[in-house]
Amino acid sequence: MTLSTYRKKRKFDRTPEPKGSISDASRRGDSLVYAMQKHMASRLHYDLRLEWRGVLLSWALPRGPSLDPAVRRLAMQTEDHPLEYVGFEGVIPTGEYGAGTVLLWDRGTWQPENLNTDGSLPEREIKFTLLGKKLRGSWVLIHTHSMRENEHRSTWLLIKHRDKYASLMDVTLEKPRSVASRRLLAEIARDGGGDVRRASMGDPAGLARRATRASTTRQRGKTRRSG
Ligand code: MN
């Protein structure tokens, strides 16, 4: 577990992301934190983060999660992130790594369902329970391809197990807002001085335009009253 790749990719005098620290095992007894971030970068994706041994194991999901057990969603493992990242939402400036808008899409805790006898996570299949606001119940991450020499990432599939939380509802479309601020991507971009038009491309069609238009009208109203 190391944050060196995470830190190497970022300039902390420019990005609002946390530099972070690796916490010791003093959190033992507490539950493990979980987050899913919706990230409009060069491409829209969702970032799954699971706390493990002082860092957040991370996977980028190009199409986000699905509640349908028949659907397998690609999950590319990315560099470990600091624990502080579970609360991150905002704008990563143009030119920086991961430039774009980050929305805290889901947050909660998680529990591994299967562990090796030495207490480590399984290499091939991680079965786990999510206790988030939007994602709950049992899931599995299946490791399909390891890193090759010139590849940065290993490939996994995220699949929902059959339980009472399985559903055919498209949760990414039905529940697009931040669990932290109720904002859409476009509203986070606007508040953080980011690219609103580009961020809105990650929001459900129509919703973002209404949201940003409404807030612009409110802003104008405020200006008029105060002026
Ligand atoms: Mn990302």
Residue 21: its pLDDT value, please?
Answer: 77
Q: pLDDT tens digits, the chain, 227 residues: what are they?
A: 688 898 889 999 899 998 887 665 545 557 999 999 999 999 999 999 999 999 999 999 999 999 999 999 999 999 999 999 999 999 999 999 999 999 999 999 999 999 999 999 998 999 999 999 999 999 999 999 776 655 556 899 999 999 999 999 999 999 999 999 999 999 999 999 999 999 999 999 877 667 666 655 555 544 444 43
Backbone φ and ψ of 188, nearest 5°: -65, -40
Instruction: Compute the distance from residue 225 Cα to the ligand 1 centre, in Å.
Output: 40
19 with 101, same domain: the answer is yes
8 with 101, same domain: the answer is yes
In angstroms, rounded to a whole number, what is the distance separating the alpha carbons of residues 133 and 97? 28
Instruction: Compute the distance from residue 98 Cα to the ligand 1 centre, in Å.
Output: 6
98 with 157, same domain: the answer is yes
Instruction: Compute the distance from residue 80 Cα to the ligand 1 centre, in Å.
Output: 12
Instruction: Compute the distance from residue 143 Cα to the ligand 1 centre, in Å.
Output: 19
> What does the block give as tokens for 56?
């957040």
Instruction: Compute the distance from residue 120 Cα to the ligand 1 centre, in Å.
Output: 25
113 with 156, same domain: the answer is yes
Q: Evaluate whether 15 touches 100 at the Cβ level (below 8 Å).
A: no
39 with 98, same domain: the answer is yes
Instruction: Compute the distance from residue 220 Cα to the ligand 1 centre, in Å.
Output: 33
70 with 135, same domain: the answer is yes
> Is 121 a domain residue?
yes
119 with 13, same domain: the answer is yes
Instruction: Compute the distance from residue 136 Cα to the ligand 1 centre, in Å.
Output: 22
Provide the CB-side half-sphere exposure for 165 (13 A, CA): 18
110 with 45, same domain: the answer is yes
161, exposed or middle or buried, with CB in 10 Å at 0-12, 13-18, 19+? middle
Query: What is the domain extent for residue 201?
Result: 183-227
Instruction: Compute the distance from residue 149 Cα to the ligand 1 centre, in Å.
Output: 22
User: Is 0.85 surpassed by the pTM of this model?
Assistant: yes
79 with 27, same domain: the answer is yes
> Is 115 a domain residue?
yes
115 with 140, same domain: the answer is yes
Number of domains the chain contains:
2
16 with 93, same domain: the answer is yes
In angstroms, rounded to a whole number, what is the distance separating the alpha carbons of residues 72 and 46? 14
